Structure 1
Amino acid sequence: MLKPPYYPIIYVRGYAGTQEAVEDTVATPYMGFNLGSTKYRQTSAGKIEPYVFESPLIRLMKDHLYQDAFHDGQILPQGPVSPRSIWIFRYYDVVSKGLGNGERKEIEFHAEKLRQFILHVRSATGQDSNKDFRVYLVAHSMGGLVCRCYLQNKDIPDLEGKPPGDWKKKGVDKLFTYATPHGGIEFRKGFGWLEGLRDFLAINNADNFGKTRMREILSLEKNLPLHSLNNRFPAKRVFCLVGTNSQDYGISRKVVGPKSDGLVQIENAYVKESARAYTFRSHSGAYGIVNSESGYRNLERFLFGDIQVNVSLETLKIKMPGKEKNLSATYDIENNVSIRGLPIPVNKRTKDTFSSSFRSSDTLEEERTHLFTSFLLKTARLNKRRQSLGFSIHFRILPLYHQDKRFLPDRHYEGQAVFDDRLIIEVSKGGDSRFKVRYGWGSNNFKATKNLEFKVDKNNLSTAVIQLNQHRPVNMTAAIRFEVSAWN
């Protein structure tokens, strides 16, 4: 019997730019979901040793007892198959000269085939009579656009063959995307002409990543941004993993530039109002985002986690240092999120990787800065007797000062971090099912001893605020806002 949160997982791979890439893709059963990585990592003893990440496919089998849906050599496995199974949507088979007719298809075609594939998974797992049938969609790059087309396009019906309406009738519980160009693929300054040429020539459907074609694919009017779900699917049930390593991808990194994963710019890699995390990985390859442990740790917690935590920074006020005249500043807000027991951070936004939150002194107080969204998983606790789930946030606020001189050139210089500390959080549930949170600061011996007082709204969202008030190195006040809710 199908038991949440262990729904069938369907993996949808990314774009294959050439026919050779198509043939290489269809020659592998798992289309990249089986690829891991072996890279050097420093141990707690200071040694540099190779570290093996087996792959998201293997880890889901090891950690969560998922089964491979393939059996008896069937490319479209027939039942019975366990609902706790992993399926590969092989949409490039029809494009292959060996397995298909060698002709490129539009994303709308693949999205309709995805609908049919979900119906097959429902049947093969013995869920035809289950009105609450759901799957998880996990997609890389263009695969995320195929999934969004299925969920958003007004011409693609639900599983009952009726015009789209209630999102639940699409049979999708959650969508997780790796490096998907939700806002399109744009080129750096000076290469706009090449972007226009790509969309005009549309070689191998490359125009799918341009604004005009994406609006058709996603049924979006001109007044809506490309990263909008247009109320077709709940944004809170989407997680976007954003890559920030622009140096370890192919030649496209030259025209896309920094602030990207080498192909997709950071600001285009997430859905509006979705959960998201940032990781120093490139679009694909040896240092790719799919075959990363940070990607897997976010994936498993989003799919199977017990608690959702949203953290943001608001009402931030920073006083200028000294008595200099005509002094202004911009700020980079970094944050690095670690979950107790994990060897890697699950979210890392830094100035060096151009992924920090950038604010001017004019917008600092007005804008709420979203730091991160994370999901905590009870079964991943190292100490099973410990009731609380712990994580920490190391965040820094780095200023860049600008002094306007009337007769001399302007002077720009970096200042000392106006804030640099680690926040320790312990989350648990009391006997009354209300969330309890204790916190502390790294500058205070890393002890979470203070209690947060929560307010609970009608949707059972628990909200609390930590007030910051410091006087050195500069006067600064701010509020760290926590939103905690049950997940799954």
Structure 2
Amino acid sequence: MVFSPYYPIIYVRGYAMTVDERNQTAADPFCGFNDGSTVYRAEVDRNARPRKFVFESPLLRLASDFGYDDVYESGVDITDPDWRPRHGRQGIPARSVVIYRYYDAGSTLFGDGEASSIEAYARGLSDLILRVRDLVVAEEGLAPADFRCYLVAHSMGGLVARGFLQNPALGDDAARVAVDKFFTYATPHNGIEVAGVNVPSWLSANDLSNFSRERMASYLNLQDAWQRYKRVDFMPEAVMKSSRIFCMVGTNRSDYYAARGLSRAFVGHGSDGLVKVENASVWGLDADASVTNTAATAYVYRAHSGPFGIVNSEEAYQNLARFLFGDVRMDVWLDVDTVTLPPALAGQDDVEALYQFELLAAPRGKRWSLTRRVAEEDSPACRTHQQLASGEAGPRHVYLSTVFLAKYAKVSHDDEALTCSFDLRVRVPDYKVAKVFWPDQHFEGAFLFRDALTVRVVPPSAPGQPWHCSYRWQMAAGQEDETPLVPELQEDGRLALRVPFGTMGQPGLSGQVLLIVCNWNAAA
């Protein structure tokens, strides 16, 4: 019997620095994943009033939307020796939400008040997965080898999960192969930086060394990659395919209130108040230690935690639900073919410019975006003029985000198509000549390109049948109907959809929006 894609979900919470924070965590039955919110920032300006928008919590939404339930019974959970399955059951159902309560022993309520090592937390996660496996197998009649689960982690919880997954000494192989997908909220995959400096490995107070790249290389089993790249945001493809990982990245530093605002002040721009945007995603690593594909990544204007936090947000929940249960995966890239300078600068060799590529992706009929990359929020994809003009394929191939489309979320169920709108923008750069700002023909806030692309896909209803895809630019003159897209079959079995874009004249750029599309959860 197969229950894909509705496997058990195991939540792993983030870092608790002090005994009081660990006590608060231990006193919460769901370790914060039951928290919802009623506000979000409609604008970057913190002086503007937040907009009222009720999000009930990821826990309640998983229950109401997909029929998930908790595993607590008579006041105890499945790790307690006194736990007994509910009347008439042998174990727990596949649609269960399990909280990994690894801070209980580090509280004064249930333990000695001393935090354990991140290695110990990783081993505990392995044990918990095997416990969940045995209970689901007993209830659902599965063979143990057919059991699968999802890991969903916030902040340091993602590092606990990666330690378990990547380090053979920190868990059981039977538990590792059971992890089908891995989702992280605001995890510092490449460590935490304060005032531009990574937390040093010798700073052991309150386990802050867990976020030192040198220390991370040890418990993540990435010593070779650390020596080669001086980074640790890698997941070996042999351990888990990067295509099975999703990284939710926050970009709102101003609403992170930890340490009375000192954290956001010292971590700085381009962060969620604690984790730098550039450090919050994962890349695959081949057997020869070469970097492969990025994990699926989306961006949201949310803080690391708090009332405007990333976990208790509709946007992050929608990405989580679609990643776990959706039907179509769409990786969004830009391939830049040509880039031109203003006529007065054409042919000069000492011109510098930074191009900022922005993207907002939203399904039809919703009040939120699945991903949001905007210059004012320090989250655009960037390329220099030298990179784009070099002719090298790598810099011209720009990853923007990944979105998942779901049949269950369609506004109209009479329409077989899944649609998404991509608001694509390229900012006019600040041109510099001999490192001096060039003010001629400069208009602040102008765009080289800006338009909304609507993409419509109808996946095949049976194996062997074709995809039907089309697109439409909102501002295209004379384009009233959708233009068909002919999918190109790639070597890995996915499809490439190419949509031309660009501007005429100087300055300008042109190329293609490249959408890499595939079925998701097809076995369901």
TM-score, with length taken from structure 2: 0.85
Q: Which residue of 1 aligns with 2:286?
A: none
Counterpart residue number, 1:276: 297
**Does 1:387 pair with 2:416?**
yes
Separation in 2, partners of 1:97, 1:405: 62
Aligned residues: 470
Match of 1:163 in 2: none
Match of 2:483 among 423, 445, 450: 450
Residues 195-235 of structure 1, C-alpha deviation per residue, up to 9 Å, x if partnerless? 33xx3230121100001110111000222530111232111
**Aligned with 1:299 (options 314, 317, 320):** 320
Counterparts of 1:415 and 1:39 in 2: how far apart (Å)? Answer: 28
Out of 433, 453, 468, the position equivalent to 1:423 is: 453
Say whether 1:243 aligns with 2:272: no
Corresponding residue for 1:195? 199
Partner residue in 2 for 1:89: 100
Per-residue CA deviation, residues 298-338 of structure 1 (Å, 9 max, x unaligned), is 00000001111111001342211232465542211111001
In the other structure, the counterpart of 2:144 is 130
Task: Tell me how far apart the structure 2 counterparts of residues 322 and 339 of structure 1 sit (CA, whole Å).
Answer: 39
Matches within 5 A, 1:185-264: 185-189=192-196, 192=197, 195-196=199-200, 199-221=201-223, 222-223=227-228, 225-231=231-237, 232-249=239-256, 250=258, 251-264=262-275
Answer whether contact 2:459 2:519 (CA < 8 A) is retained: no
Distance 1:169 1:156 in 2: 10
Corresponding residue to 1:56 among 46, 55, 58: 58
The alignment status of 1:13 with 2:37, answered yes or no, reads no
**Aligned mates of 1:2, 1:349 — CA distance in 2:** 37
Structure 1 residue 350 displacement after superposition = 0.5
8 A Cα contact 1:9 1:138, kept in partner: yes
Q: Which letter maps to 1:59?
A: R
Instruction: Give CA deviations for 1:417-476 in whole Å, capped at 9, x if unaligned.
Output: 110000000010246432221100011488561111112134321112222353157443
Q: Using the alignment, how far apart are the partners of 2:18 and 2:315 within structure 1?
A: 29
1:371 aligns to 2:400 (yes or no): yes
Hey, what's the Cα distance between the residues in 1 that align with 2:6 and 2:437? 59
d(CA) in 1 for partners of 2:180, 2:453: 32
Task: Tell me by how many angstroms 1:383 deviates.
Answer: 1.0
Matched position secondary structure for 1:352: helix
Aligned-partner Cα distance in 2 for 1:147–1:209 = 14
Q: Which moved more, 1:65-74 or 1:320-329?
A: 320-329
Unaligned runs of 5+ in 1: 161-167
Paired letter, 1:303: L
Q: Is the 8 Å Cα contact of residues 306 and 486 (structure 1) preserved in structure 2? A: yes
Q: Secondary structure at the match of 1:35?
A: coil
Measure, in 1, the Cα distance between the counterparts of 2:75 and 2:246: 33
* 26-35 vs 60-69, greater mean Cα deviation: 60-69
Describe the SS at the equivalent of 1:400.
coil
Cα deviation digits, residues 363-400 of structure 1 (max 9, x gap) = 12531111111111111112111000000100111122
Contact 1:424 1:447 in 2 (8 A): no
1:341, distance to aligned residue in structure 2 (A): 2.5
Letter matched to residue 216 of structure 2: M
| Distance in structure 2 (CA, Å) of the matches to 1:120 and 1:88 | 13
Tell me which residue corresponds to 1:436.
468
Distance 1:349 1:268 in 2: 15
SS at match of 1:120: helix
Structure 1 match to 2:88: none
Change (3 A) 1:410 1:70: same
Distance in 2, matches of 1:346 and 1:370, equals 15
Cα distance in structure 1, aligned partners of 2:481 and 2:306: 40
Give the residue type in structure 2 aligned to 1:280: Y
> Could you tell me how far 1:83 is from its partner in structure 2?
1.0
**Cα contact 2:104–2:110 (8 A) shared by 1:** yes
The one-letter amino acid of 1:356's match is P
Looking at structure 1, the residues matched to 228 and 24 of structure 2 have their Cα atoms a distance apart, in angstroms, of 39
Identity %: 37
Give 2:431's match in structure 1, choosing from 386, 389, 402. Answer: 402
Q: Which residue of 2 aligns with 1:479?
A: 512
What secondary structure is seen at the aligned counterpart in 2 of 1:229? strand
Code of the residue aligned with 1:237 in structure 2: it is R
Q: Is the 8 A contact 1:401 1:415 kept in 2?
A: no
Distance of aligned partners of 1:457 and 1:255 in 2 relative to their CA distance in 1, 3 Å threshold? same
1:48 CA displacement? 8.9
Give the 3 Å change call, closer, same or farther, for CA 453–461 of structure 1 in structure 2: same
Amino acid at match of 1:202: S
Over residues 96-132 of structure 1, what are the superposed CA-to-partner deviations in whole Å (9 max), with x where a residue is unaligned? Answer: 1221222221111111111110111112223573311
| Secondary structure class of the residue paired with 2:465 | coil
RMSD across aligned positions (CA): 2.2
Cα deviation 1:50-76 (Å, max 9, x = unaligned):
321000000011111111221211133
Taking the aligned partners of 1:319 and 1:473, their CA distance within structure 2 comes to 6
SS of structure 1 residue aligned to 2:228? coil
How far apart in 2 are the matches of 1:362 and 1:405?
14
Preserved contact between residue 39 and residue 50 of structure 2 (Cα < 8 Å) = no
What SS is found at the alignment partner of 2:317?
helix
Q: Do the aligned partners of 1:418 and 1:473 also contact (CA within 8 Å) in 2?
A: no
**Conserved 8 A contact 2:191-2:199:** no
Q: Does 1:411 align with 2:432?
A: no
2:290 maps to which residue? none
Alignment-derived partner of residue 362 in structure 2: 338
What residue in structure 1 maps to residue 122 of structure 2?
111
Q: Quick one: distance in 1 between partners of 2:246 and 2:515?
A: 19
